[in-house]
Amino acid sequence: MKKIVVLIACILMLTSCAYIPTSGSPHAVERPKQTGGGIVLDPQGPAEGADPEDIVVGFMRASSAGFSDDFVVARQYLTASVAKTWNPTTQVRIYPDSQNQQVSQTRSGAYRVTVGAGGSLDSTGRYTAATADATLSNEFSLVRERSGEWRIAVVPDGVTMPESLFQTLFVRTPLYFPTQDQQALVTDVRWYPRSQVVSAASRGLVDGPSAWLAGSVTTLLPSGTRLNSPAVNVEGGVARIDLSSDVAELSPHARSILYAQFYQTLTAVAGISGVEISANGALIGNSKQVDISTYPYSGSDLLVLANGKPALVKDDGIHVISNSEALANLDLSSLATPYGEFLTEFAAVGSDGRTLYRISMTGQVDTLLSGTAFVTPSIDRDDFIWAVERSAERSVKAVALDSGQTFEVAVPWLEGLKVRAIAVSREGARLAVVVDHDGVSQILIGGIVRNSSGVPQSVTEPIRVGQRLVDVTDLSWISSTRLVVIGKSQTASINALYSVPLGENISVMSSLEDMTSVTAGRNDESILLQTIHHDVYAYDAGGWRKVLEDVTMPTYPG
């Protein structure tokens, strides 16, 4: 798979441009002035007699602030014809606050503005983080008009702004879509302009999920459903969604799920406390919230290996399960446990990574699968064990924990990649995979497509997250939109623990020397790290507290 990088295309020069001097060295562009609260002051239009470089610099400032004035001032820097065709909403290019844009000239006289990349936002609000070495580059060509004033005649669509301004003008907005069995909601993270967030999020739900999720979730809206008004009315904290009449034909259950989608999405927006859904102005019945989780995690006792023997960790100590001496001969190296309050059986890899076992709490052992080198398995909420070999090629195995029946799951994008680790999300609709590609680790997440019986069939083309990490050894889901990852960035010499959110950039957490594996449940306080010394540490108020000694593979459900 090709590395995902941020690429901003350059725009061709117009041959009709007046002559522009080509001398001069690169220098920094002053970023838009901000108030103490981070809000950009009113942008200024082009000054009379401004030279070409001042026009470019002024445009960059005005366009970055354009979401607050509908880009009225920014268009003043463009020729009349270009002002009509320039589309600023196709993409938002974001750079770190630590960077300054540099202006230089090309040999042809165009002005080029470059800066280190932080990420980009597409027209539907989907954010893609940039790799550590990515840059943003925009080129502008200018003409002198009959008035004698310089104006931009070639301009790339979209806008460029610093991270702090992006965080001020846009709001991170999780959209929710039901799983194929309608038993849970899957999060699809978007970013929308703060001034339009309710209407934009409603349109996002109507338009449907991102392409990579489309096969793993469902949409209950009939084809062709639309919002009757581009602006959603909000009164007294209640968002009133008026949809086209086809929605009235939905079953009561479907209406309830639809209501849950809108309710979970919109009540996360500041100032929204309720939702009403109508069809052509007529309130839809059964608009009540159903019990459908966005993070269906249910824990059980912690499972570990104590001197190679499976054991449960309880309040009064570590309890080795029955038949422990025989189990020790299996040479177990990794574990996976199902969801549920009481643990009755689990999966394990042994025999030097070549065999997948099912082991009951009474010590009964069944061989489920043989291979060459399995990574640590993952169990989804439907009790399928995901068994993946390091050289997976184009498919992986899903093994039913109860029956042992094995199913082939198509993952064609794994061809040529080496797998390091996997983790199925709590609702069972997404598979996170750590792979090696050209000597660099990548975290890829694809949607899990199931048949009507819930059996996994394939995994969709993935997105990449954690682009600034180059060496990843383990990962675990910690919320519906976040992973915790042991890895290393391009500038680091040792591993650290990172928070890797979907639709945002990574951040480093409090780390621990000699980490080898991570497991987690529902929040930061659930994180457990194992070290090479066979000690286990729990995350505690931003630091680490040793909780276990002489054990390996601490394992929570999933």
Q: What is the pLDDT of residues 35-72, one digit of tens each?
A: 334 454 578 999 999 999 999 999 999 999 998 889 99
| DSSP states along 164-211 | HHHHHHEEEEEEEEEBTTSSBEEEEEEEEEGGGHHHHHHHHHHH---G
Compute φ and ψ for 328, nearest 5 degrees.
-65, -30
Compute φ and ψ for 197, nearest 5 degrees.
-65, -40
Q: In what order do the strands lie in the sheet with 496-501?
A: 469-479, 482-489, 496-501, 507-508
H and E: helices and strands count for the chain? 7, 40
The residue assigned the tokens 């940039």 is 130
pLDDT at 447: 98
Q: What is the pLDDT of residues 457-508, one digit of tens each?
A: 999 999 999 999 999 999 999 999 999 999 998 888 889 999 999 999 999 9
CA distance 187 to 295: 9
Q: What is the pLDDT of residues 258-270, one digit of tens each?
A: 999 999 999 999 9
Q: Which amino acid is at 210?
A: S
Residue 40: strand pairing partners: 34
| DSSP states along 103-152 | EEE-TTS-EEEEEE--EEEETTS-EEEPPTT-EEEEEEEEEE-TTS-EEE
Q: What is the pLDDT of residues 141-165, one digit of tens each?
A: 999 999 999 999 999 999 999 999 9
Residue 443: strand pairing partners: 434, 465
Residue 469 exposed, middle or buried by CB count within 10 Å (0-12, 13-18, 19+): buried
| DSSP states along 407-464 | EEEE-GGGTT-EEEEEEE-TTSSEEEEEEEETTEEEEEEEEEEE-TTS-EEEEPPPEE
The residue assigned the tokens 């669509």 is 157
Predicted confidence band at 289 (pLDDT cuts at 50, 70, 90)? low
Q: What is the pLDDT of residues 303-337, one digit of tens each?
A: 999 999 999 999 899 999 998 889 999 999 999 99
Q: Which amino acid is at 325?
A: E
Distances from the Cα of 131 to the Cα of 17, 102, 113, 116, 543, angstroms: 35, 19, 19, 10, 28
- Stated length of the chain: 558
Please work out, in degrees rounded to the nearest 5, the angle formed at the alpha carbon of residue 407 by the alpha carbons of 406 and 408. Answer: 130
Q: Mean per-residue pLDDT for 101-126?
A: 94
CB 120 within 8 A of CB 89: no
